[in-house]
Amino acid sequence: MIIINIAAVVVALAVVALVITLIPLIKELKTTAVTVREIAGRMEMDIQPTIRELHNTLADLNVITAGAAEKVEDIQCFMSAVGETGKGLRTISSVVGGAAGALSKTSLWITGAKVAGSFLLERFTKKRG
C-alpha cells in the first residue's frame, strides 16, 4: 500500500506541476484572445468606411454606365451622319477634281491656241512685210 500511496503522491505532484505550468499558459491565451478580439474590432471599424465608399463608387459607376449606354445610340446616329457627309464630300471632291482637270485641259488648249495664233500671225506678217 505504501507503493500505491507513493504513486498517488507522485501523480498528485505531477498534476500540481502540470497545473502550475498551465496557469500562465491559460492566462497568456486569454490575453492573446482579448488582443485578437480588439484587433478584429478595429479592423472591422476601419473596413466599414472603405466598404461604404466602395458601394458609393459602384453606384456612381452604374449611373455612368447607364448614361453611356443611353448615349450609344446617339453616337451611332452621329457616326452614320458623319459617314454620309464623308461620302458626299468624296463625291463633291471627285466632281470638282474632274471640273478642275477639264478647266486645266481647256486652259492648256487655249494657251496653245494663243501661242499658235501668235506664231502664225507673226509668220504671216513677216512674209508680207
Q: What is the pTM of this model?
A: 0.40
Q: What is the pLDDT of residue 129?
A: 58
What average pLDDT does this structure show over 115-125? Answer: 78
Cα dihedral 19, 25, 28, 29 sign:
negative
Q: What is the pLDDT of residue 111?
A: 79
What average pLDDT does this structure show over 36-55? Answer: 90
pLDDT beyond 90 at 90:
no
What average pLDDT does this structure show over 115-126? Answer: 78
When computed from its CA atoms, the radius of gyration of the chain, rounded to whole angstroms, is 52
